[in-house]
Structure 1
């Protein structure tokens, strides 16, 4: 879990505004890190697809979580974009955002990284295609 905390910091924000410790995510089967922005048309088109897949998998008892990392220009726009998402939020002002982008080679959005929450290892840097090819999550956890 130390690997995840090194990349993501100690805390993210829950949908209700609460603080969620990154260390608590170790029990999930898969962790998605979703880079997106409201100004990005492909992001706005993919977010509902991802939301639907996320909700279906969680309703089926699958254990996965997603952290949204906003590349919006300001925090207000980030919050507006986040309203439609059911998962966790990476703090907007967190300096680790740029380091994460560099570490995983994020050069375009939307990007969905899939990580093993127990080790922090990258499972796939192509989560968008995996979700689009399997929107019902039949092949979850896509390893």
Structure 2
């Protein structure tokens, strides 16, 4: 019975990245691969940063386990108490951890027998699911600030959405804070006439509290991906550009219609807002 369940679960996993083919650069671009924590392999003298300011230094001994906040191409951002520290990949067991995890997944996949002509179980009819690749990716993991607190966003509202503006932003980013009010004004003007359009906030903040305060302080009227679910949103994270603010217009199946980046060139989110308006005007 356990083997049959494993086989079913594996059908929904993303394509396995072979463990030995993993590189720090690949890991940095795939948040779903990031471990919950890493262990320092050498003693690391590091500055202590609180609210963006260096407040001192500390030497952390080898063997210290620290939660992972973000993996970058050459370094990993870690949580240390109430501050963050930045450590080179080579001073942690990051690569070994990820390779070990992927190798275990490969072994499980190889050990799973093929299922020959399974009989479909009889199940009760379920409520209509959100349609399209993007709505399916988001289902169950959206929240919204309702004016008082952050609450769950109803998946039923996604069923009618044909176009999504995926908004990558963070409260610590000055250009983001300058642009967000413009997007709020644009959204409040266009949303009532176009229920087929929705903006979704994908936070690049350092904590859930920071992301939720950003939603509250800027009165974001659209839903956001639940902070704890961000690592598992491979399709959404794959849409991100190299910097923020980054706004991406996609259709319900994830086809990119407009992007804040054109190749390596940053053209900005204002260009995407114009494209959103033009796209909706054609409907």
Asked if Structure 1 and Structure 2 have the same fold, meaning a TM-score greater than 0.5 normalized by the shorter chain, the answer is yes
Does residue 141 (structure 1) correspond to residue 276 (structure 2)? The answer is: no
* SS of structure 2 residue aligned to 1:77: helix
- Unaligned 5+ segments in structure 2 are 1-130, 261-267
Please give the residue correspondences for 1:1-143 in structure 2 after superposition, counting only pairs within 5 Å.
1-5=131-135, 7-8=137-138, 10-16=140-146, 17-21=151-155, 24-59=157-192, 61-63=193-195, 64-83=197-216, 84=218, 85-94=220-229, 95-97=231-233, 100-101=236-237, 103-117=238-252, 119-126=253-260, 128=269, 129-131=271-273, 134=274, 139-141=278-280
Work out whether residues 33 and 66 of structure 1, in 8 Å CA contact, stay in contact via their aligned partners in 2.
Answer: yes
Across the two proteins, how many residue pairs are aligned to each other? Answer: 136
Mark the structure with the bigger radius of gyration: 2
Work out whether residues 66 and 87 of structure 1, in 8 Å CA contact, stay in contact via their aligned partners in 2.
Answer: yes
After superposition, the C-alpha distances for 1:84-130 in whole angstroms (9 at most, x for unaligned) are: 211001110112346632x224210011111112x222221237123
- Unaligned 5+ segments in structure 1 are none
Q: Which moved more, 1:92-101 or 1:43-52?
A: 92-101
If asked which structure has higher relative contact order (CA below 8 Å, sep 6+), I would say: 1
Cα gap change, 1:66 to 1:92, in 2 (>3 Å): same
TM-score when normalising by structure 2: 0.43
CA distance in 2, matches of 1:33, 1:48: 16
TM-score when normalising by structure 1: 0.79
* SS of structure 2 residue aligned to 1:58: helix
CA distance in 2, matches of 1:6, 1:107: 25
Q: Which has the higher strand share?
A: 2
